Amino acid sequence: MGLAILGNMKFTVGWLYPDLMNIYGDRGNILTLLRRAEWHGFEASVVELGRGAATQMDEVDVFFFGGGQDREQALIYDDLRQFKQASLQQAVESGAQVLAVCGGYQLLGHYYQTADGERYDGIGLIDVRTEAGKKRFIGDVVVLSAIDGLTPSTLVGFENHSGRTFLGPNARPLGKVLKGHGNNGSDHQEGCVQGGVIGTYMHGSLLPKNPHLADHLIAGALRRRGGGALSHLDDSAELAAHGWVLQRAQRR
């Protein structure tokens, strides 16, 4: 499988805080990146980036940053700034990709403001800000993707958040909300894309049901190494699950 020329190339996933930020089946995103990279002919591995000084961050092709519970999220605020921020910024500048979901999405932005007006600073890697909302948005999400050439053009997932995220001028939305609430429930936008960073509220897990987005991340990261097009995989199972969510969204 895969192109012979890529046979011995490595592909590395960096999982930020795997023990603390993994509430919504985030392991599904990691498994999808790893398996698909293998099926495309790469030697895939995962680097766990827990609390404390991180090594190997410069080897990472795709970073994943998931959501956590409030208590766990509070435990990583300082660590993120102290040990990860600089090398994460560097990696992104050199072409690494980042997928951040829910809590991770919020933490990569400028800040998260609680209902009492208290602000928790993020690392400002993406031009978004988040404020606490009253009602929790829970349910299926279908998005018409704004990423060029993504086939199918839809993304499907499940959202569960009370944060309202707003995009600044440097961030573009990941897509237009066809079903669900998205970033804030008011501007019909979901997620953000800024350079190689994708932030989103969609879990479910996201990548298993959106194999085209997984490949987009893998291909994007490999571009800096001069990697060509990825091989074609049989995604019938993944797209059946994707299509099932689309069908249900149409029925309701």
Partner 1 sequence: MLDRDLARRRFLVVIRKTAAVWAGKATGTLSRITGRGGGTTLPGDVARAIDPKILTRLAQDLTYGSVVITGTNGKTTTARLLSWLLEGAGHRVVSNRAGANLIFGATAAALNRAGTDGRLKADWGVFEIDEASLPKAAAEIQPRATLVLNLFRDQLDRYGELESIAKKIEQALSAQPETARAILNADDPRVAEIGLNLSHKPLWYGLDDTSVASKTLPHAADARTCPRCGSSLIFDAVYVGHDGVYRCPKGDFARPQPEITATDIMLDGFESIALSIDGTRIEMPLGGLYNCYNVLAAYAVARSIDLAPSYIAERLRTFKAAFGRQERIEFRGRHLVLVLSKNPAGFNETVRTAVELANGKHFVIGLNDRKADGTDVSWIWDVDFEQLRDHASLVIPAGVRAHDLAVRLKYAGVAAEAPQTDPGKALDLLIKSTSEGDTAYLLCTYTAMLDLRAELVRRGWASPYWET
The yes-or-no answer on residue 188 being catalytic is no
Place of tokens 């591995």: 45
Which lies closer to partner 1 via its Cβ, residue 112 or residue 166? 112
d(CA 151, CA 153): 5
- Among 4, 8, 53, 71, interactor with partner 1 by CB under 8 A: 71
Interaction of residue 241 with partner 1, rule CB under 8 A: yes
Contacts with partner 1 by CB under 8 A: the residue count is 33
Tell me how far apart the alpha carbons of residues 131 and 150 are, in angstroms, rounded to a whole number.
30
**Is 35 a residue that touches partner 1 (CB under 8 A)?**
yes
DSSP conformational letter for 123: -
Kindly state whether residue 229 participates in binding partner 1, applying the rule CB under 8 A: no
Q: Decide whether 110 or 203 has the Cβ nearer to partner 1.
A: 203
- Of 7, 139, 168, 228, which one interacts with partner 1 (CB under 8 A)? 139
Does residue 208 bind partner 1 (CB under 8 A)? yes
- Quote the CA–CA distance of 236 and 238 in Å, as a whole number: 6
Q: Which of 11, 12, 16, 24 binds partner 1 (CB under 8 A)?
A: 24
Short-list 229, 225, 193, 240, CA closest to 9: 225
Q: Which residue is catalytic, options 40, 110, 181, 203?
A: 203
User: To which residue do tokens 């998005």 refer?
Assistant: 143
Q: Tokens for 244?
A: 């099932």
Which one of 18-26, 53-61, 92-100, 106-114 is the stretch in contact with partner 1 (CB under 8 A)? 18-26
Provide, rounded to whole angstroms, the least separation between the CB of residue 72 and partner 1: 7
Q: Indicate the angle between helix axes 211-223 and 27-39, nearest 10 degrees.
A: 60
Q: Is 233 in the site for partner 1 (CB under 8 A)?
A: no
Site string for partner 1, 96-135 (x = CB under 8 A): ----------------------------------------
CA distance 111 to 168: 12
Task: Quickly list H helices, the chain.
Answer: 27-39, 70-79, 85-93, 103-108, 206-209, 211-223, 236-251
181 is catalytic: no
Catalytic residues: 102, 203
